[in-house]
Every structure is written in structure tokens, then in C-alpha cells.
Structure 1
Amino acid sequence: MRAVQVQEFGGPEVLVQREIPDPVAGPGQVVVRLAAADVIFLDTLLRGGWGGEMFPLDPPYVPGFGGAGTVDSVGSDVDPGWVGRRVVVSGPAYAELVAAELGDVMPVPDGLGLPEAAALLSDGVTALRLARHAPADVVEGAWVLVAAAAGGAGSLAVQLLRDAGARVVAAARGERKLNLTRELGAEVAVDYSEAGWIDRVRAATGGSGVALALDGAGAALGEQVFETVADGGRFVTYGTSGGRFAEVDPLLAQKREIEVINELAGGTPDPELVRTLLTQVLELAAAGRIRPTIGATFPLADAAAAHTSLAERATLGKSLLLM
């Protein structure tokens, strides 16, 4: 089969397509023939050697965390009725075929395309996890801010919070991304590359700031996002596009009574929770309640171009590799 491997830690050029043996389904496993593979910013960080303590990888390896396709074969103890079913699958997905435990696949609901399902696999779960941090008072009229709001997870969080009755402020870079967030339901859109953007958020929210801020950027930009939170509010960080998480002075947070949550601090979430959230997000998309924004697709051989686009912040919403 065709697969892309990280030959050594480095830039996008280390992503090389190779022919490698087809995987074989062992006991309790299925092999999925992928139609689309999810591409997330974390893939680019790991390719460069970041995060080895959390994600131990030894090149050469096939990157990726999952995708969507159809079950091609099953292990000897797996119901053959799975063959031909449309599923999402967790695993190293920059490849035509992925072998996975049966517990790592989930059927795709009728009415939802495989690329759309792949686009929800990681970012949909993340967005639902983030939306669960909305305080009980995030109802009609409460202000929330989503930073990196035109990204895969951010664009879904905008929709989820909008549906929860919140008044959403979307922060992104450039008019093209801001227009997308408005289309998705943001009431206010601000460009966080422009001076004075924090003041504009505060002005839009009546001067006090937002009840909840979701930081999908991290680093210095995430620390600016913290400044938009009203006293007594909540700041949730999950982004590392700046190379690190946002670092908030705990004494300042305590003084302002702001709850600070690092969504990724606990490592990989519980698998059962992930399955529950993934089921919910797939059903929401199948029902038309939310839609992933697929801003760029690339053939498998162009995985390096997909990584470059993410690194340059050129992609709206989700990037996918198509087989």
C-alpha cells in the first residue's frame, strides 16, 4: 500500500511517500481502507520532534491520528458483517489502509460523507470538550470568545456555543477567516493581528469582557486572550500553534477570580469519553446541526504541502488528505 512516512524529525520535506506492506487484521481487529485522513496541527509539531514525552515516536513512522473509510477485512474473531461498513478509525492514517482494534472504529451515520466524518474525528471531539466548559450561565446573552476561530476545532466551537445561546466573539487573522466565522454564527469578529484587538473585544461586550474564552493559539497570543476574560470568568487553553501553551500568572488569575483550565494538561482523554463525544458530534453533523469547514484537501503524496499550509496559517477550517 501507499503510505507517507516521517523519515526523520524535521520540516515538511521529511514526509515521504513509500510502498509498505498491507496491514493484516489480527484477532479483534479490522483493516479500514481510508477515503480521507485527518490532518491536525499536532501532526506538524510531532514531525519536528516536539512532545516526545507525551507522544514517543521513533522515525520512520506513519503519522496521523485517524480518518474515515470502509472496512476492508476483519480478524478471525470479528463479525464479518463489518466488511463494507463506513467508519471512522483511530490510528496512523497517512496511508491507504489502517489496521485498528474494533474498539477504535465507529460507524459513520447515514447522510454524512466520509470526508466530513474524517474532519470531525479529532476537532469535533475537541470542540465538544471545550464547549462543555461553558459555565452554567452561558445562555442567551452571555459573551464567549473563541480564538483561532477559523480553525478546525475553533470553527466547530463557534457553532456549538452559538447553538447553546451564547453571543460569540470570534478572533482570527485576516478578513477571509473573519468572514467564515461570521457565516458560522459569530456575532462579533476581531482580527487578533491588529493592535487594540483586546480593547475591541471589551468594547463589544460592554466593557467587562467575556464569561468564557477558548484559546486555540497558545503562547503569547493565548496570554492576550486571557486578558479578554471578565473577572470571575473562565479561560480554557488547548492550543500550541505558537510552540507552547499559554502561561497565565496564577496570582493574577486568583486575584481576578478567573478559572484557568489547560484542556490538554491531563494527557490523552479517557477512550470511553472520546467515543461518547465522537458519537455525539457525528450525530450532530448528520442532523445538520453543525458542519465541518473543509478548507483544503491534498492527495496523499502531497502531505508535505498540507503541513506547510497549516504552518503558514493559510487553511480555513480543516485540512484532509484524500486517497
Structure 2
Amino acid sequence: MRAVWLREFGDPEVLVPGPAPDPVPGPGQVLIEVAHTNLTFVETMFRATGFGPFPAAPPLIPGNGVGGVIAAVGADVEPDLVGRRVVSSTGGSGGYAERVVVDRGAPIEVPDGLPLDEAVAVLADGRTATMLVHAARLRRGERVLVEAAAGGVGSLLTQLATAAGAQVVAAAGGGRKVAVLRDRGLDPVVDYRQPGWTERVRAATGGVDMVFDGVGGQLARDAFDLLDPGGRMLSFGLASGAWADLPGDLAAARGVTLLRPSAGPAELRAFTEQALAEAAAGRLRPMIGQRFPLEQAADAHAAIESRATIGKTLLDIH
């Protein structure tokens, strides 16, 4: 089968297309014929440095989230699963390929009416966004700042927070991303690459009650300063390359709660199913900003690292 190999850590060019043996499902496993593969920023960090909760010993086929059709099953697995449309985590590797084998309990069936590419776009990001909004316990009328609002998770967070009755301020880096967010009906939208962006947020809202931090670094600290006493902040990403550095004693002195959500496998599966159901109902719209064929996985990683991407990036396999 066609696949993309990571044989050493480094720049995007270390992702090299090449043949791989066809996987065969063993007892308790299923074989997925992959249509689309989900790409994440964390995968680019793993490719570059080995960072992240993935297998850490190349050579390997990267890729942790796929969508496709179950093509075969192993022993002790119901044969009527063949032909079902599913999304699935791969356990950390194997997704940049035409076929992948996973345990029977890993795939989640895609609801009728939801295209496979949209299902893959909400597999990881929708699960994350749903979990974060659940942890934030948003209340109607709260002022919510979403950083990296043009990203995969951020674009879904803006929708979920709006549906919860919050007043959403969307923050993104660069004029193109700001324009896309405005086209999707968000207001106010600020460009955090421009000087004085926090003053524009304060002028529009007077301050905020909740920050979803998808950037980290200094920008997270600037966003923290916008929080009123009693506010909450939840860091979920490090697009800047560094996590937010917010000491607990500083937060306590400001009367701000730093949220650190966690969830077990059963809860994560439930959040994924909830996100898929919302997408199937048309209430959650993933933003697929760019797509690459399998053989151009290196180009996809380079685009993500350049901060030029909008929404979700997919590899189209079939």
C-alpha cells in the first residue's frame, strides 16, 4: 500500500512517501480503508523533535486519526462491521497510509448524512472543543475570548461558546484569518499580531470572563491580563511553541481560576460522539481550510508550521 514514512526526526522533508506492507487485522481488530487523515500541530512537533504522546522510535508511519470504511475484520469481530463508515484514533501511528488496523473498540461510526471528511475534521478537534466547553461551564452572557480562533479547535470553540449564549471575542493572527472569521459571522474579531490588540478587546467588552488559550507564550499572558476577578482561563494549545507560563499564585492573587480539564477514555469517546452528532445535525461546522494528497504530507506539515493554515488540514487518501 501507499504510505508516508518518518525515518528520522527533522524538517518536513523527512516525511517520505514509500510502500508499506498491507496490514492484516488480527483477533479483535478491524482494517480501515482510509479516505482522510487528520493532521494536528502536535504531530508536526513530534516529527521535528519526538515531542508528544506518540511512538518515539522511527522508522514509523505517523498519523493518529483517520476516517474511512471498515474493509475487513479479524477473528472474534462481528462480520457485519464491514462496510461501515467510521472515524478512529490509530493509537499514535499508522494514519498516513491507505489502510490501517485498529482494535475493535477504537472506531466510532459516522452518523448518517455527515460526510467522512467533516467527520475526520471533528474527530480530534471536536472532541477537544466539546471537552473544553464542558470544563469551562460557560454561562449565558459571559464574555469569552477564544485565541487561535481560526484554527481547527478554535473555530469549533467559537461555535460552541456562541451556542452556550456567550459573547465571543475571536482572536487570530493575520488579516486573512480575521477576514475568514468575520465572514463566518463573528464579531468582534481582533488580530493579535497587531499592537494594542488587548486594548481593542477591552474597548469592545470591558474585560473577559473566560479565556480559551490556544497559543501560549507571551500572548497567553496578555490575554490573562484581560480577565476580570472571578474569571477562568484554560490553555489547550501552544501555537507559539511554548505553553502559557501563568504561576498559580499570580492567578490566585487576581482571583482567576486556571482550569486543567482531564478525561478518561470513556469520557473522550463520549465527547467525540457528541461532536459528531452536533456536526451531523448541522450545529457544528468544521472549517476544512486545506487538503493535501497523501504524498504531499511534508507540504502539509510545512503549511501548518508556517501558521498559514486555516481551520483543519486533511490528507486525502482515497
TM-score range, shorter chain: over 0.9
Structure-2 residue corresponding to 1:295: 289
Provide the rounded CA distance (Å) in 1 between the counterparts of 2:185 and 2:243: 27
- Aligned-residue offset at 1:114: 0.7
Structure-1 residue corresponding to 2:310: 316
Structure-2 residue corresponding to 1:225: 223
Structure-1 residue corresponding to 2:99: 97
Pair 1:82 & 2:81 matched: yes
Structure-2 residue corresponding to 1:182: 182
Q: 1:194 to 1:257 in 2, by over 3 A?
A: same
Provide the rounded CA distance (Å) in 1 between the counterparts of 2:89 and 2:133: 22
- Aligned-residue offset at 1:56: 4.3
- Aligned-residue offset at 1:185: 4.3
Q: Counterpart amino acid of 2:62?
A: P
- The 5 Å alignment of 1:141-156 reads 141-156=141-156
- Aligned-residue offset at 1:129: 1.1
- Aligned-residue offset at 1:250: 2.1
Structure-2 residue corresponding to 1:110: 112
Structure-1 residue corresponding to 2:40: 40
Structure-1 residue corresponding to 2:56: 57
Provide the rounded CA distance (Å) in 2 between the counterparts of 1:163 and 1:294: 21
Q: Counterpart amino acid of 1:19?
A: P
RMSD: 1.3
Q: 1:305 to 1:6 in 2, by over 3 A?
A: same
Structure-1 residue corresponding to 2:209: 211
Identity %: 47
- Aligned-residue offset at 1:301: 0.3
Structure-1 residue corresponding to 2:234: 236
Provide the rounded CA distance (Å) in 1 between the counterparts of 2:248 and 2:266: 32
Structure-2 residue corresponding to 1:270: 264
Provide the rounded CA distance (Å) in 2 between the counterparts of 1:188 and 1:212: 15
Provide the rounded CA distance (Å) in 2 between the counterparts of 1:12 and 1:231: 43
Structure-1 residue corresponding to 2:250: 252
Provide the rounded CA distance (Å) in 1 between the counterparts of 2:137 and 2:66: 32
Structure-1 residue corresponding to 2:17: 17
Provide the rounded CA distance (Å) in 2 between the counterparts of 1:186 and 1:168: 8
Provide the rounded CA distance (Å) in 2 between the counterparts of 1:51 and 1:271: 22
Provide the rounded CA distance (Å) in 1 between the counterparts of 2:15 and 2:230: 46
Structure-1 residue corresponding to 2:277: 283
Do the aligned residues in 2 keep the contact of 1:167 with 1:186 (CA within 8 Å)? no
Count of aligned pairs:
314
Q: Counterpart amino acid of 1:115?
A: D
Provide the rounded CA distance (Å) in 2 between the counterparts of 1:230 and 1:18: 53
- Aligned-residue offset at 1:50: 4.2
- Aligned-residue offset at 1:57: 1.1
Do the aligned residues in 2 keep the contact of 1:158 with 1:184 (CA within 8 Å)? no
Provide the rounded CA distance (Å) in 2 between the counterparts of 1:123 and 1:7: 27
Could you tell me which runs of 5 or more consecutive residues in structure 1 were left unpaired when the two chains were aligned.
none
Give the match's secondary structure for 1:133: helix
Q: Counterpart amino acid of 1:9?
A: F
Q: TM-score, normalised by structure 2?
A: 0.95
Q: Counterpart amino acid of 2:309?
A: T
Do the aligned residues in 2 keep the contact of 1:34 with 1:96 (CA within 8 Å)? yes
Provide the rounded CA distance (Å) in 2 between the counterparts of 1:157 and 1:4: 31
